[in-house]
Structure formats: structure tokens, C-alpha cells
Amino acid sequence: MKNLKRQWKFIVVLIAGAVGLISQFALHSKSLFSIGNLQFPVHAIIIDIIGILMAISLLLEIFHDWKTGRYGVDILAVIAVVSTILIGDVWAEWMILVMMTGGETLEDYATGQANKELRALLDKTPRIANKLVDGKITEVKVDDLQVGDTVLIKPGQQVPVDGQIVKGTSSFDQSSLTGESVPVTKNPGDELMSGSVNGDVAVEMKVTKAAKDSEYQSIVALVKSSQAQPAKFVKMADRYAIPFTVISLIIGGVAWAVSGDATRFAEVMVVASPCPLLIAAPVALVSGMSSMSAHHIIVKSGPTLEKLARAKTFAFDKTGTLTENQLIVDQVVTDDKSFDQKELQSLAASVEQQSSHVIASSLVKATDKDLIHPVTNLKETTAQGVEGDVDGKHVKVGKLSFVAPGHEKLNVTSTAVYVSVDGKFAGYITLKDKMRPESPKTIERLRRQGAEDIMMLTGDHKQVAEKVAKEAGITDVRSELLPSQKIQAIKDVPKHLRPVVMTGDGVNDAPSLTAADVGIAMGAKGAKGATAASESADAVIMVNDISKVNDAVAISKHTMKVANIDVLTAIGVVIIIELIAFTGVIPAFWGAILQEVVDMITISLGLLAKTKPSDKQFGLEEK
């Protein structure tokens, strides 16, 4: 709504100028009245009315900002507008209004997508459930489910609300909620979280929590809560506001005192208009955002680049972010000298080749096709494993209790499938979440780019998390975290290690992406939970490459370097012109024209943000 209001201001100013031009030159407007030496023709009245309204609007915004402890350059804009009204320089006044509202509109253009954070997350919330009444299925709204109702969850469906299985056994994909890379088998009596996805077998569930209290809906509420309490951040231009305002007022005041003419103060204030200061950062930021797009990174707002450039702490989700959310074979351990590792994997993959379970499909994919043989007498025991005959051998693959009862004391902490051949325990195969090949290099480059702390925040198990972290080069590991605990970990980062950048990809990451100073989503098409994460983030990586985080940091640093040079150059040039106006040789109108020249210089410098950052900014050079 605020953005729309600013756009309308800019449009109204442009219309007022057009009407004023037509009135003055086409219709040869006459003065309606005069005060002393000041004449008030139609075009002057139109522009003065707009100027007064804009000044009042700015004053209200300034008062609101002062109450929140923020001080900007808007006070100079008000003084410049009022000064031109008082000396009767209508077109100088109009130029100030154009640059003032135009700078705001340009800044708003850079944040055009910022109000869509929750749309996809809310759209994906489960809405319909299959309620069982006397053995019959009735479709009802999820919000109408009551605690104690029985719900049928079909294969591939989302769990609508939190509940407890009363009939059936199936595996459930909770990766987008908890970060666990492997589906979890759920039996009667086990709890189910809303938002998790059922595997291959239909189950019946008793509702234990109403929709508003369930896990998925709680995540949505966390996102809303995090958005309602954004981190305080001072924009770059505002950091220069107070000294620039003080210097300009001193020059104008001294000019008035020395000359004894209030017009001299007005002339200084016209050239002191903060238009170049207001437009310098937005132009550079829009250029930087354009450069981001060229690198397949979508940034939703200019301040995101400012915070990224100064970021000191980087937090990463594990599954789907540092890893590919794809299992690969880690170890093949044999327990029978009759089989070597290659043969054991061949037998296991052959039996698993017709299973759709993620572990089975990962094992088959990791095995050479020439080693996968036909299987006969195939039989699957739900949530336990499969068995069949391969090359005359009866092979069982699955849980240890199914494959080799009596070996339950075997302690394997990784994700594993166990194998027996002809009734004898033959060994096991462990699998791990596949590390993105670019992850270790990304972490190393972030440290070169100035990162002081890098941590992993994941809902996965401690042993798995620590193994991945070690491979990635991360020492600060927080595992088995719920979404709310991820948010707390971000909030607990001390002030001297901020801003904090969080990178994630799943639904469970959405609240922490919103809570961080900068949230970056791995938004590649088709990724689980990517849409919800993307809509909750400040920046979205559109390709499946985490090293784009390095690119985002490099482009942000380069953009802010250009923006700072641009702002300081604008301030320096404006102060020089103010000193010239101090002598009285620059009338207000020509002061406004000179302002436009400074604006063009400012815009040209700001466009340099589209140039390529240095290798050092990319983290490619040793410190």
C-alpha cells in the first residue's frame, strides 16, 4: 500500500507539471492574484498546491521516523520545496518534486515482489481431508476436522493435520518439515505431522490436533510472526543524512546572515535538495539487482544487497541445501567371506529394483546396470523389506529385524539396509545424503569474503549432521532442530556477528529465512518446499547451485562499493555547488538545473554496479 502511494505521488507530480506547462505556454495563463512581488498564475497555483501537499506528507513521515529513532534526508527536501514556494520559483520547485518522488518510485520498483512472501506457503496448506465415517469416505475441509476424527491418508497425499496412526504402516517423507533426508516408517501408535507426505500404503489416522494447532499451520504462523517483527536496519543514504543536512543548513544560514537576503538561503537550499542522495543508492541497487538476475539470483529488495554486503554470519540448512537430497552408497560391509562387496551390492540392488522406496531407488541408481540381475518370487513386506530369488539365491533386504533376527545389537548409526542370503546374515549397505560438489568450496570462499561464523541448522540426526558438516568444512553444527529452534538460533547470534544470512530450501526453512536478516532460498524448480521457501526469502537462487551464495555476496559488496562512491561523490559535488550558490551567482532555477546535472552524474555512476565484481569480492583470491 505504501509503494502504491509513492507511485501515485510521482504520477501526480508529473501530471501537475504537464498541466502547468499547458497552462503557461499553450493557454498563456494569467496571474489570478499577487502577493507583493510574487505573481500566482494558474500553473504556479497547481504546482504550489502539489508542493505544499507533498511537503506536509513528508513532514508526517519525518515525524513518524523521528519517533522510531530514524533520521533521513527528507527534511532538506521539505526545506527546498518550501524555499522555492516562498521565492516563487515554480519550475525549480517542480524539478525538486520530480526527483524526490521519482527516487522513491525507483526504490519501490526494486522491492516490487516483497509483499508476496506468504502466498505460496498458504496456497500449499492442506485444505481437504478424507474423513472416515462408519467406514465411508467423506471429503471435508481440514478446518472442520475435530480431535478424535478418523482420517484416511492415501499414498502420495499430505497429512492434513497432526494425528496418530490407528491402522496401517507406511513411510512418510518429512524432509521439507524436519530436514530428515530419508523417509520415516510410521506404525500404528506413531505420531504424524501435518505437511508430511505419505508413501506407498494408505493409512488411517486419528486426529490429535485441530488444523490451527498442527505442525504445518504452526510453521505458517511462525513466518507471519517473523515478518511482523523484522530486524531494524538503517539504509545507507540515511547514514549520511545528518552530516549532510547540518552542513547544508549551515551554508544556507551563513549565506542568509551575510547577505541579509532570505532568497540567498532559498537558493542554497534548492541546490542542497537531497535528490542526488535519494537517487544514488536506488540506481546502484537496481543495477546490482539486475546483475544478480544475470547470475540467476532474484533479489526482492534493495536493502537485501546492503545487508548481504555487510553479512558476518552465514547459516545453512543441510538437506537439499548443502546436500542434494539424494542418497548415495557410502559403505558396503560384508559379514560373510562368501561374498565380496561388489556381489553383496549386486544381490541387494537386484532385489530392490522394483521398489519405489527412496532407499531402494537410490541403491539401484548407485549400482552398475550390469550388476543388476533378474529377480523371481519377489515379495514385499510393508515397512520391513523385500525378498526374492536372484541367481539361485534367496535374498532378503530391509530392516535388520526382518533380514536377520538375532542381530539387533549391531550398532549402525547411518542410514542402512541389511542383507541376508539363504537365511544367513551377509552384511549391510550404508547410504548418505550426497554432498553438493560445490558446497565445500562455497564455505571456503565465504570465509575469504569476510564471513566470521558459518553454521549448519538442521532437523536431521546429530551423527548425520556432523558427518555432512565435516565434509563441508563447517564446525558450528546445530542438529535435531524444530523450525522454532532454528529461529531462536538465528535470534541468538550476537550483534557484533550480524547481519545473519540463512540459506535453505524446505517448508521448514521458511520461518528461519524470514527471521534472518537475509533469507536465501534454493528455489530451483521442482525442489520440495522450494516455493514456500522462495516466497519467504529475500533472495532466491534459481539454479541448483549453492555457490551462487558467493556470487550474491560478491555482487552485493561491489554494488555497495559503487553506491557509497556514488553517494559521496554526489554529496561532494552538491556541497561545492552550495558554496557557489552562497555567493548569490546561481538563481534558484539554475540551481535546480545544476541539480539535474548532478543527478545525471549520479545515475551514470550508479550504473557501474552492473560491472563485474573483482576476484577478491568473489572470494577467489587468498586473503
Half-sphere exposure of residue 256, counting CA atoms within 13 Å on the CB side? 14
- What pLDDT band is residue 575 in, cutting at 50, 70 and 90? confident
Residue 266 has pLDDT above 70, yes or no: yes
Least confident window among 148-162, 184-198, 382-396, 519-533: 519-533
Q: What are phi and psi of 143, to 5 degrees?
A: -65, -20
CA 359 – CA 182 distance, rounded (Å): 7
C-alpha cell at 32: 489570478
- The predicted pLDDT at position 220 comes to 61
Gap between the Cα atoms of 274 and 445, Å rounded: 38
Rounded Cα–Cα distance for residues 394 and 408 (Å): 21
| Strand, coil or helix: 48 | helix
State the Cα–Cα distance between residues 280 and 565, nearest whole angstrom.
Answer: 9
Considering only residues 472 and 434, tell me which one the structure prediction assigns the higher pLDDT: 472
Per-residue confidence (pLDDT) for residue 73, from 0 to 100: 61
Q: Residue 298, class by beta-carbon neighbours within 10 Å (0-12 exposed, 13-18 middle, 19+ buried)? A: middle
Task: For residues 103 and 109, give the distance between their C-alpha atoms in angstroms, rounded to a whole number.
Answer: 10
CA distances in angstroms from 445 to 209, 307, 544, listed in the order given:
45, 18, 18
pLDDT at 576 over 90: no
Separation of CA 356 from chain center: 33
Mean pLDDT value across the chain: 80
Mention every residue, 6+ apart, whose C-beta is less than 8 A from residue 593. Answer: 95
314 or 384, which is more confident: 314
Only one residue has cell 511482523, namely: 228
When pLDDT is cut at 50, 70 and 90, the band that residue 37 belongs to is low
Alpha carbon of residue 586 to chain centroid: 48
Instruction: With a cut of 60, say whether residue 226 has pLDDT above it.
Output: no
More confident residue, 489 or 261: 489
Please give the model's pTM, rounded to 2 decimal places. Answer: 0.64
Altogether, the residues listed in the chain come to a count of 623
Is the per-residue pLDDT at 407 higher than 90? no
Q: Give me the pLDDT at residue 523, please.
A: 66
The CB-side HSE value for 428 (13 A sphere, CA atoms) comes to 21
- Cell numbers linked to 247: 552542513
Q: What is the DSSP letter of 238?
A: H
Residue 469: which pLDDT band, with cuts at 50, 70 and 90? very high
pLDDT for 219 equals: 60
Element holding 86 (H helix, E strand) = helix 74-87
* Contact yes or no for 456/469 (Cβ under 8 A): yes
Average pLDDT of the residues in 425-434: 90
Q: Exposure of 231 by Cβ count < 10 A (0-12 exposed, 13-18 middle, 19+ buried)?
A: middle
pLDDT, position 239: 72
Q: Judge whether residue 274 has pLDDT over 70.
A: no
Highest-confidence segment of 19-28, 418-427, 536-545: 418-427
Neighbours of 120 (CB within 10 A): 18
Whether 509 is catalytic is no
Residue 529: the pLDDT is 45
Lowest mean per-residue pLDDT among 126-140, 186-200, 392-406, 505-519? 505-519
Per-residue confidence (pLDDT) for residue 619, from 0 to 100: 66
Instruction: List beta partners, residue 41.
Output: 31
Cα dihedral: 290, 295, 296, 299 (round 10): -40
CA 299, CA 305: separation in Å to the nearest integer? 8
Query: What gap in Å lies between CA 34 and CA 31, rounded to an integer?
Result: 7
Once rounded to an integer, what is the mean pLDDT over residues 439-448? 94
Q: Which helix (H) or strand (E) holds 324?
A: strand 323-334
Joined together, the cell numbers standing for residue 588 give: 534558484
Please tell me whether residue 378 adopts helix, strand or coil conformation. strand
- β 500-504/518-522 pair status: parallel
Higher pLDDT, 489 or 357: 489
* Cα 190 from Cα 162, distance rounded (Å): 11
Tell me what percent of the chain is helix, strand and coil, each rounded to the nearest 5. Answer: 50, 20, 30
pLDDT of residue 303: 81
β-pair type (313-316, 197-198): unpaired
Question: 535 with 116: CB under 8 angstroms?
Answer: yes
Query: Predicted confidence band at 300 (pLDDT cuts at 50, 70, 90)?
Result: confident
| Exposed/middle/buried for residue 488 (C-beta within 10 Å: 0-12, 13-18, 19+) | middle
pLDDT at residue 27 tops 80: no
Given the residues 89, 108, 162, 317, the one annotated as active site: 317
Find cell 552524474 and name the residue.
601
Residue 168 has pLDDT above 80, yes or no: yes
Q: How open is the CA angle 9-15-16, to the nearest 5 degrees?
A: 90
End-to-end CA distance of the chain: 45
pLDDT of 111 higher than 60: no
- Paired strand residues for 170: 186
Q: How confident is the model at residue 237 (pLDDT cuts 50, 70, 90)?
A: low
Please give the grid coordinates belonging to residue 594.
Answer: 545544476
Q: What is the mean pLDDT of residues 522-536?
A: 56
> Residue 113: which pLDDT band, with cuts at 50, 70 and 90?
very low
Residue 119: pLDDT band with limits 50, 70, 90: very low
Q: Which of 91-100, 260-269, 373-382, 425-434 has the lowest mean pLDDT?
A: 91-100
Return the percentage of the chain with pLDDT > 70, whole number.
Answer: 79
pLDDT given at position 449: 92
Q: Let me know: does 297 contact 500? Beta carbons within 8 Å.
A: no
Question: Is the confidence at residue 38, as pLDDT, over 50?
Answer: yes
pLDDT at residue 573, as a whole number: 84
CA angle, residues 524, 509, 183, in degrees to nearest 5: 80
Interval 53-97: pLDDT, tens: 888 887 787 777 676 665 556 677 787 788 777 777 777 778 777
pLDDT confidence of 301, banded at 50, 70, 90? confident
Q: Is the pLDDT of residue 378 over 50?
A: yes
pLDDT value, residue 224: 53
